Structure formats: structure tokens, C-alpha cells
Structure 1
Amino acid sequence: MFPMRQSRRCRDCTRRFFGSFVAVRLRSFDGFPFLSDRKLRNFDRKQQQELAGCEVPIPLLKYQKPSPPPSSPSKQENRNTSLSFIMLLPFLLLTLLSPCSSSAKSQLFKNSHLSVEDSSSLLVSEDKSFTAGFYKVGANAYTFSIWLTNSVDQTVTWTANRDKPVNGHKSRLTLHGDGGMVLTDVDGTVAWSTTIASAAAHYACLLDNGNLVVKDLNGGIIWQSFDSPTDTLLPSQPITKNAKLVSAIGRGSPSSGYFEFHFDDRNVLRLKYNGPEVSSVYWPDPDITVWENLRTIYNSSRYAVLDAKGSFSSSDHFTFIAADAGKAGIIRRLTLDYDGNLRLYSLDNTTGLWSITWLALPESCQIHGLCGKNGICSSYPRLECLCPPDFEMTDPRNWNLGCKPKFNLSCSMKPEEIEFKYLPYTDFWGFDFNVLNFLSVDECKNRCMRDCNCQGFSYKVGIGLCYSKSILYNGRTSPYSDIYIKVSKSVTTINSSKLQQQGTICNVTEGALTVGSSPKMLKGSSKKMSWNNLYSFLAAISVVEGLFIAIGWWFVYIKEDDHVLMAEGYKVISNQFKRFSYRELKSATRSFKEELGRGGSGVVYKGVLENGMVVAVKKLEDVSHGEQEFWGEVGVIGRINHMNLVRTCGFCSEDSHRLLVSEFVVNGSLDKILFYGNKLLGWKERFQIAIGVARGLAYLHHECLEWVIHCDVKPENVLLDCNYEPKIADFGLAKLLNREVIGSNVSRIRGTRGYIAPEWASNLPITGKIDVYSYGVVLLELVSGSRVSDLVMKGVTEMEIRAMKRMSLMLRNSLDMGGESWIGNFIDPRLKGDFDCKQATRMVNVAISCLEEERNRRPNMEAVVQMLVSGDEEFYSDATESIQFSSFSTQ
């Protein structure tokens, strides 16, 4: 419920009213030290003046001169007076304790206003979910905003004057007689006004959906805040060709920032960095076409909206659903945050806290302009911005301004005055004014050195691609390219002289020269050197020479080896993906001592890196790829980032050793808990795991930059974190491993018996539908609590498929018969009936559709997620009918 705030002025008015009333009423009681009639009249007049404007029933205070009191009032008179006072006392107490609710209005009529000085001068929606009023953004700065009443931080959803705050004194929002709503500052200047003014306007009010509207006498909307969003969209609020979201400039600041969410000229919904110098689109992926991003340009309506159930749809065919989609009564908001990421939030009404239920970019460093000009974004081990060598932050408090060079470059500089700083596995996206093929690094350097407009170049090793950069923006770590930044050679000299001027060079003092030397020795130094001194001098020269030779040998051989290691990538490839040496991983795992598990792709060991991070190290077996091809494949895996996928943080490719390093997931694999563990997985955890695995696979199939098929979905490859959130492991390994390996549990090609789709046996082209089939088996195992695959483990592939088909038909017949008794027999008996029948039925229904023998009849993983999270059976049936002809069915 909305906490009405009682202003100090209102409390004082009520207190004065109560005191005056009591003083007037008690005057007729015996023994009370009353004021004289004259003083009482003056007192009463003064009180009425002070109470002018207070929203209390002032007419009750109108003074009437009492008749002279009798010398001895009758008992009846005293009794009547006391009775009237007692009858009015509840009203007085109610008035005193009331939070002046009349100050918080539901409507603002013509020629009335809201004042910044009165903290209770507010507009409140009928259901108390939203509040509109003056919102403090600085010491004496206010915006007129709409915020969520029940959120802990009173999250703002709309602001009228985000770039022009008003003073905390005498600022007003007024609905004028001409129908225009105007916000004025202390000096009367207009800080904001509605674009539409109509004499037909009657009043303004705040609707339950957070929309501030101006209505006419018939209730028609003349103006609404939904037409001019700031950085947030609310359910039912559309984004159109005339509306866009603009982020805030920083955390806690209402001012407009540099990121935008809008429809472009090609009818595609995009996220764009629109900075002071440059602008660039960063979502959907600008490196691929509109069609590859699954968008269309042929619908010019330019309309997108989030519905109340958490489903978003756009005219360019972009859709998404919230993690908690289908749940009723949840307040949601889609916000373009100050860091440029678009996130969907859901409000927990009990705690007032927000949770993220969808976001556009799981990898924040894909956002352009995040670290400003010349800045480099790093997301591992934490998100941070870095400056290249010989650069420093332009403003230590603001990364939007990026980094500035510590040197000056001019077109008149000679080549010998210029050098290049090498940053391996780094790239600055975009702003390539020249792209050249089949060049060596030296040729690329020479071309950039001779071009005054070239600030550096990106080079892709192995294919000889050279990208000359006119400006360095959108820097981020990348496993596919290196960057060379043009700098002045004088920067080192300048820095050295500056250090000397600051006295940080250790200068030798006179005292240091005399330590251990007698005055006689010093005095003798001016005379002829004795033979002993000569021998000592020659011996010292020999020692020094020997030291120089040793140091030179170390630099030539040892240091050169270290340089080769660095060039080959044994140092950090990026702050989010590292290449380790075999020696490092052997030390981290204590010579591969603690085994976590093993499978067809290799053995997994627990390890601890030098920085204390606990990791899982997987020794890959039968890797058929060469060095460069292996690098390329693990680079793809390293770029994948999703909450339901195990994060790969590095690899090793040294001689014959091929290892992958990933995050350690504390609760281990699903099979150990579901089938063999002492802990019983509750129904809530099982349903959560089902949805999480589906989301992870949907990301690999539809949202990942590189299309990835897992090829081995099974409980052993589903890991559970401390909250039993699932994380899929071993994705992306299908291309790394030799597919001709035959093991006890691994088919001729990738997959595990009992989870293999029929097309494996038919030698059909492999698509994402093989993962859908395997997921259907896992779904049945989650429901039943036992290995469905155990029924078919001993057969050949064709027998396995027939056995799974019979099980699907049996379950389908049970579903067609209706009723709920059969599902209780299929559910894990250890749950003892503690499960959600509708969810269980939905899971079995989805599993059956995933186990269709004809792959084109199976849903894609996006449709699977929608069917699982939707509590609407009508939606489910519609989705089931449509997935057979889904545009994603070829995946």
C-alpha cells in the first residue's frame, strides 16, 4: 500500500485546529483558566489566518461569542457540552492522525498544480502501484517523474525534464486552462510542457499501468506519457517509429546518455551507441545480415510492445519472453540501462527488489562505446575498462570520455619518430577506412605509418587481413585479431625526464661514495695506481664482462623463448579467455590428482589457479584438429556466455596436449543427484532445471554468434550450481573431437546411447533437432526420476529408437485419455505426490513432441522454452500446432 507522506505544514495545521477547537469547547467548563473574550477572539482570528489553505474543516472554528456564563452552570449544560465534545473527539483524532491523503491526488484538474515544496503533493494511480511527483535528483534539483511505489529504491519509469531539473523552491507542475501541462522553475521559466494543448482538456491522472494522461470531459485521452518514453518501457507501452528509449548518462543520474533503442530506417529494432564523436549499431549483431539475425525489413509498421505476461514482440519478427513469463500480477519494466544493455526486470512485491529476467547482451563488452574513445573493455574476471599502453583516462570519474594519449602525433612526423604498440588478442570494432588482403604485419605497419589518418590497425594472423583504423572506438578483447596502435617514440623519453624532475630516480649521494672507504684510499686515488690496485681493477673488469655475457645470453636465448611463448599465446589471450601452458595446468590440478568425472570427450579434474580461482580442467581425448584449427574452435567456445552454460575461461594447446579450463560448478552433474545422490531433488528444482537447460540450448541454437549443436545432451552434461540452476557443459566439442571414436557409450558419431536421435542412424544431415530429441529424453528422466535410457542401453541403435518410440506412444495415449491419475504413476515416487500436476503434464507433453521420429515435427528449442514457461494451455496448443512449420525448423 502506498505510504502517504504527511507534510510538516499539514501536521501543524491539524495540530492548530485540534488545539483551537479544544480551547473553544472547554471554555465553558468550570475551573479551566480561560482567556478573556477579547483575547479569545484575537486568538481564534489568528488561528483561522494560519489555517488558511489547510485541508481541514475550518468552518467549525468560526467564532461565536458565547453568552456570559452563569455563575453556576447547570449539570444539564455541562453534560450536553461534554457529550458534544465526546462525539466529536473521534473525528478530531482521525483528522489529527490522517496523513492528509487529500494532498496526494488521484486527479489534477484545470488551473490546479502540484508544488515541489510539498512532499505530499502527488498524483497516485488508483491501485497505488505508481506515483507521480517531484523526484529529488540533487541537493536542490528535482525532476517531475513517475516511479514504482512499492520498489525499495522507488524506481523511476518516466521523467518529464530529465535534462533540465528544476529548483526545490517555487517550482510547479500546472494544468492550465488551455489544457497544456507545464512545468515551471523558480523564476517562472518553462522547463517542460506537453506538446499538445487542448481547451477540451478536463483533468490529468495517473493510470494503473503507469501512464500519465490528460483527459477530456468524455474520458478520451488527449495526451499521454507513454508516447514519449525516457529509458523504460512498461507493459502495454509500445515503441514506435516516433518513440525511442535513451539511456541515462550514469548510475543515479536522470540525464540523457549515449545509448538508444529504436527502429532504424530499415524497420529493424536496434541498439545504438550515439556518442559525441561517433555512432554505431551493436545489437543485433552488426557483423551479420538482417536475415541471419532472424529479422525482417518488410514490415514498415515499426511497432513493438511488451505484454503483461512478459512476452515481447516486434514488427521486425524479434521476440523474447521473460524467465518468469506467464506469472500473473508481476510488475515488469524493460529498461535501457546506463551501460547500454537492454534488460527486462521483474519486481518482487514482498521485498520490493528487482530481478533480471531477460537481457539483450549477456556479454557486456559487445556494447559499443562502453569504455569511450581508445578504451578497451574486459569482462573477465570482472567487467572493467582499460587504457592501452601510453594512454590514460581522460576523466578518472567518467569512462564515457575514454582514454587520451600521453603523446602527440602529427602529420609532419618522420617514420623514425613513430612506433607501434602491440596488443595481442584485442580489437577495436569498426571505423576501418581501408581493408587490405594478404599483407604481412610489416607491410601493414609501413602503410599505416605513411598515412596521417591511420591511428593504428587490426591484423588477423594466418589470413593476412589488415584493417586500418581512422579512430579507436569499441575496444574489446578478441581471440581473432591483434591491434597495433600508432604512438610517438618520444613518449618514453618524456616520461623518463618527468620522473627525474619528480626526483624518483635514485641519485647516488656523497655519503654513499664514502661508505667503506678510508680517507687515505680516497687521497691515494690521485696518485699513481699501485700494481695491486691495477690487478683489482682488471679483475673487476673481468667480472663485469662475464656478467654482461651471461645477461646477454639470457636475453638472446631465455628471453627470446619467453617472447615466442608470448607470441604463441601462452600469456593472456584476453582478460576473459586465457591460453595456459601445460605446466600451469599440471600445477593447478596437482598433477591431475582429483578427478571430477569422465566421458566420451575426456576426463575432468579439479584445479586451483594461481589467483585462487577454482576451475574444472578437461583433458580432451582424440582431438583430430591441428593447432590453428583448434585455436579457432576454442575461440568460438570462449565467446559464448549465458547463465545456463558453463563458462569456458581458457585452454591449453601444447604439443599433443589439448585441455579446456572452465568454471567449477559446485553441485556437480545432474545424474549424480537425480539418480544416485542422497539428496532428493524437489519438484521446484526439477522444473527450474528443465527450463534452464532449454534456455541454454535455445541460446546455442538461435542466439549465439556461432551456431552450435551440442550433440551430447544428457544429465552428465548438465551441472548444477549452489542454487540448483543448471549449466550445460561440453557444448562446442563436437567439432574438436574425432567423430570416428567408438566407445562403450559413444556412438559412431557424437552422442550417448539412449539419447541419440533417429537421424544419426539414417545418415541424415545433422541439425539442432538432434539436441531437441536428447532434451526430450532428459525431460522424461527429470519427471520420472530414473534413467529412461536404461530401457534401451543394451540394444543396437535401431532397437533403441524403436523402444523410445513405444514409450512415447504409451505416454501420448495416456495424455489423450485425459485425467490426472496416470501422471501420478509416472512421476518419481520419491516425491510422494509433492508436485505440480499441470507442470508435470506440460513437461511430458513437451517431451513427447521432442521425441518425434520425424525431425521436422519436433519443436525448436525457442518453442520448447515458450511451451514450458507458459501456464496458458491455449497458448500451448497454438504453439504446438505452429512449431511444425516454424521458421527455425531447419536449425
Structure 2
Amino acid sequence: MLSAKTQLLSLLVFLLTQPCFSIDFITPNQPLKDGDFLISQAKTFQLGFFSPGNSTKRYVGVWYYNFPQKYVVWVANRDNPLSNTSGVLTIAESGQLVVAYSEAPEAPIWSTNISLSRDNYNNSARILDNGNLVVFRDLYSDKNVLWEGFDHPTNTYLPEMKVGLRKKTGEAWFISSWKSPDDPGTGQYSYRIVLNGTVPQLYIYDGSKPYMGMGPWNGITFSGLPAYGVDVADQLSQLFYIDDENEVSNYYTITNSSYVTRSVMDYTGVAQRLDWNPQSETWKASWTGPDGQCEKYGHCGAFSTCNSFRIANQGCDCLPGYTDKFEGGTTANSFVGCVLKPGASLCRSGEGFRKVSGIKVPDAFNAELQSDLDIKACHNLCLKNCSCTAYGASRLNSDKGCLTWYGELIDIREFSDGGQDIYVRVDHDELAKDSKKKILKVLLPVLFIIVLILVITCWVLRRKKRERSKRNLTMSNGSERDDIAFMERFSDVRSSNESGTTSAEVHCFSLSTIIAATDNFSFANKLGEGGFGTVYKGHMRGGQDIAVKRLSITSKQGLEEFRNEIILIAKLQHRNLVRLLGYCIQQENILIYEYLPNRGLDRFIFGGKSLLDWRTRFNITMGIARGMIYLHHDSRLRIIHRDLKASNVLLDASMNPKISDFGMARIFGNDQNEDTTNRVVGTYGYMSPEYAMEGHFSIKSDVFSFGVLLLEIISGRRNSSTFDDEKTVNLVGHVWDRWLEGKPLEIVDPSLEESYDVNEVLRCIHTGLLCVQESAAVRPTMSEVASMLCNEKTPPAAPEQPAFILKGKGYLGPVKFSYNTESGGSSGAQMTVSIVNGR
């Protein structure tokens, strides 16, 4: 009779020899030979022998199962390769997991080096579904873990893998790069948490020197990574931080099993978080570091900040109270740090602190954590100690805990969004500047009101004088009379806003003020020009940037349009409408707007490779739609814009759209829906057919213009573009042809590649075609447009014949176009075209 153990072993051998059978464990009697593999139970990871790149050496590693390429995430014998394919991974008699040559198993080249206290013949090793290779004592249980591969990471940071250190022993878990694509040996770059005194910080190291500092933990993330790609809001992953008496560590977990992500420390010194796109079968970087000079450790030296958008001094600038070491010297193009301003004293000489906002806090190697102090107590503590150079809150959204810095302040970066605040120690003179600024902030409004009263008084007196001499004016003075009448007709703009309350936001500026702000309308300040005239950038004495619209003598926008634009923009308040700051009617007609640094949308979507990804384009589209909904439905007066186009959509610093140019707009009463004019104004290509042909306009005229603009945003081409291989005369016709052929995605801007959501783009094309239908009656309202864009379902109506297209191919009737929205990616999109033939 065979023993039970022998029978079990025979059964196991039988199962292992069956086709398509895979195992995930190693036992003393079941080693893993070169050419065999272990596959985790859920088939997410695979373990086996491999040769990286062009190398012929063999390593034991872990990689993603069934991916198009072998993305290795962990290597056992990274610094001890095998020279041939006779290797074996097994549980030795000692109980250790070893890599050895099959002909010499007693001489391992790599071992787990476990401290064993008893007979461990029954140890086993298993590859888990998170990619962790684990050695167990006897049974597969969390209580029997002897050794984990996650405690010895290589160049990849996986979910549930820790980076950190044990405080008592100094044992560290850190990510280190490969030497090269062909050599997974321990490279020179590492990603690790370091404990400087009492303050843990995250760094990328180049050998023994910091290469990028990511700052201390602030309760949400590390202070140098305000936009680190942990998508808690989308429930994709969560970031955890441990800091107790035993260890300080950091790890993250995945809450959506379909989300595949990893962080890699590249052999070139670049760290990236990579997210897998199953549709394109590629990795997309959601975070990269260091990204630019400012992210390299200490780039600007001591007592300085670095801003990647700052051109001068390699992006460097001094903190308040400090000056460039070589200011005015001969060290051109070299910035090595800042020093205290000459004559300044920071010790018991009336010194104080200046706030510096939106930054990565300085390196905390010389900082102390005050865990029980609030920010006020921290201020007092730092002020009493002359060696304390700065202080700041250690945790975001917390009243307790702060950091105090002593000595040099190094590795500070400025962020355009996010970041933290610190308070830098400055001398009495620097504080006095702050006091003067505060006084000016109070005095300037008072002085402005006084000046405004004087100006209004002078204007009233001048007006009365003109009235007395009005009968004696000649025809040559007609323009002056127009100005007077104009001011009378819209004087209410300066006195009330839409709700009827007093408003001081729209001002009448003198021509001399505008000339000074624009440097006499210099060519260097010119932003652009059109039929209305020229737009200049200006800079007011108070530091505010403005956009100045100067109407030319031959402008298509006359006095009535000028008055119209002032009244409309002054009364309309919405985040997606441009804000009017003032006007000037002295000698010429001028409008002053808020300055939007990214200028017109047309600069980003036309004329070459676009700078906008699909998500940004979609957000801009929704912003324009919200602005139009406000004009059509939500404002006190119903407004028809009549000139909506890409160049009339301006973008602020955060790429938020703002609709501009209301010179052609018309006001409707609450009960009025349409009107007719003998004077057709606007831009051909964006005009609806009923308006261009008959002068008939309504809110559906603006819907048509929005539809043309939406198709331009998707395609990156103007409606007036030519298509040599087509019979169409414009973009709308080109899109319609592709729609009829069932190939609408061919019109998408090639620069987007495959980064967009197919279903979302199809829905946008469908909605755009509904907007440009020839019949105004069947076009949707802007509220319906916004609903269709946001709704994941197919728009309910099929588009009919668009306007202004050649009909050489024949119009076959309404087209029904549907697509599957159950899949979130492009691979799930299915298209059906049904053409109803006309009789």
C-alpha cells in the first residue's frame, strides 16, 4: 500500500502534467526550472526566468501576465545573474528560497536569507495576485509569512508595496533603478523616505546625493507633490502614510480591480507613475519627476524660490528680505542663491515674518516638528529664537502641528495651483514695506473716489458748458455731440448693475491713462486685430493687467454697437463671460477688459499641432455652453450673441473659456423669442441660414454658431477649410459626409491620437450636427445641448440635412446613428448607420 503522502505527491505530479494547468507555488519537492512559470490565482502576475533587453544572462523575475510585452516589476537575483538556462528556483533543505544552477543546488547564487529557528522542510513560496512573492511556513496563511519580495523592491513601486524605514533598526524599503535596460542590477537612482531628525521626507537620490526633494508629509500628500496622481476622487486608488514609534512608511492601494498602475524609477533618474490603457495597450504617465529644472534639488540655492514659468535667472528669485548673491556682478546666467540684504538685522531689531504662499516647503533637514503647537504659538516660538528663519503649518486642514526651520532655506518651488504657506523671517525695513502697501491699499480706493468725484464734477461742468454752446456748434463738431449724447444714454451703466444696486466695477478712463497703460499703443503690446480695430495688452499703475479694445475709424462696430457692448457686459455676470472693467470715449471709442493670458481659443485649435488634449477641449465646450445658457435663459434679459466663434472665446490661465465681443448682441424681452433685421452682422461660416439669407435671428441662430464651433474644436480645423478630395465646401459638409459613410471618427483632430473617449467624441459630433441643421425649428436649445453633451446615452434625435453644404452626393433623408456606451473605452464602441430613403 502506498502511503498517503506518496499518493498525494503522485496526484500532484499528475495534475502538473495536464495541459493548460498552472500553479502559483513552489515546494521543496516542486521547484521551478528555467522555462517553467508560476501564475497567480487571478492570473494577474507571472513569475519565471527571463533575459532583459539584449542580455543573455538569466534572472528570476515577476511581470504582468498576458500583456503584449514583458513589463518586469520585480527581480530576485538582480545583482547575481545566471550565465545559462540551467537555473532553478527552489526551497532548499535549509528552508530558504534559493536561485541556483540545477547541477549545483547546494551552492545558491541568491537566497532569501531568512532567520529560521526550527525545521523548515515544509516551507513553500507563492506568487500572489498583487505581484508579491511570499515564503510561508507550512500553510498558506498571513500568520505564517517568513519573507516577502515586497520587502525587497527593485525599480517598481506596486500597490500595497511599502516605501519607508524602521526607526529602531534603520532598515529601509526603497525603490532603486536598474543599471540599464539590459541590466536590472542595482542602479544609481533611488526613491526613498529619509528621516532627517524628527521630520520624514521623500526624495529621489542620485547615489548618496538628493536629486529631487518631494518634501515632508502634510496630511494629504508630500508637500512637493500637490498634484500627485492618486485619484481618490475617482475611487481608483488611495494613499496611506504611517508614522509611529516603529516605522515611517508610505503605500497605496487600488479600490478598482480593473485599474492597473505602477510607479517606476528609471535608470536615467526619472520617476513616473504609469497607468495602463487597455484600449491602446500602452502606459500613460500621470506623474513624472523631476519635471524641469525647478524640481531638481536645490536648483536655485539658499533663500530662493524656483518657478518654471519664470524666464529670468533660470526661474529663480529671492525670498522677501534677501537678494541675489551676485546681483550687479559678472556672473551672467548663473544663479547660486541669495543672501540677507545688506544692513538687515534679524535678531531683536523689530523683525517679523512675511508670508510666502503656494510653494513646496523648504527641505526639512534643519527643521523641527512642533506637533502640539498651533500656527500662532509657532509664530511666537520662532520669533523668540534668532536662529529660526521660517515657520509653517506641518499639516493641511489642521489647527495643530507646525515646522520651524533653522539656518538656510533650500529647495523651495512655486506652484501655479496648490502648495503650502510659510512665514519667512525678515527685518524691520521689509516689514515697513508691507505696512506701506497696506496703507496704500486703504488710501488708493479713497483717493480714487475723491478723484472720481472731481472728474464727475468737471464732466458735469463741461457738459453744462457744451449745452450752452450747443446751438453754435457746426457740422464739424458732430462727433463731439455724438459723444455727449452717448454718455447721456448709457450713464446708468456707471450707476447700477443688473440687480439695480450701485456698482463701481465699470469705470470711465481717460485717454491719457490708457496711453500710459499701453505705452502709447506700442506694437510690442499688440495682441491682435480684426474688423473692429486692434486689441492691446496694458498694465495699470496698480499692477493689474488689462486688454484694451481700440475701435478703428473704419470699424464695423459703430457707436451703437459700442454702447451696446458696454451695457450688456456691465450687467451680465457669469464665470464664462468676459468681464468689462471700463471704457474711454475721449477722442475715440475704447473698451477695457480683464486680461486673459491664453487669449483666443482659435490660437489653440487651428494652425498646426494642437496643444489641447480631449479632456481640456470638452471642458472648454461645456464652459461655452454654460455661458450661452446664461445668455439665453438665466439672465434677466434674453441675449442673442450673433457672433459666437473661436476667436471670440477667450481662455484664462486655467484654460476656462469666457465668451467675449458683445457688440453685435441683441436684447430680447422675456416673452420675445425671435426678430428680423435688415442689417446682417457677424461672421460668415458661423451664421445660421435663416439669419444670413433673411435677417431672421433667434436663440437657434446662436445654437447654429455653437454647433459649427463644436465641430471645429473636435476636428482642429476651421469651417472655412478646404478639402481637396471632397466635394464639400466647408467643415460642416465634410463632417456630414463622414457621418453618412459611418466614419465620423475620421474628422477627429489627428493630434489627439487615441487619447479620447470614443463614445464621448461620437456624442459631441452627433450633438454638433443637431445644432447645424438647416431648419431652426428642429435644432435643440442650448440647455438641451448641454444635457446631451453630459449624458452618456445617445442623443434622442437623428440629425437632418445641415445648412450650407453641397448636395452633389444627394440627401437621402435623416440619418440614425447609434453607439454602445456600456464600455468606457474606445474598444467598446459599436456604430450603426440607418439611412431612410426619400421618396
Q: Same fold (TM over 0.5)?
A: no
Higher helix share: 1
Greater share of residues in strand: 2
TM-score, length-normalised on structure 1? 0.32
Q: Which structure has the larger Rg over C-alpha atoms?
A: 1
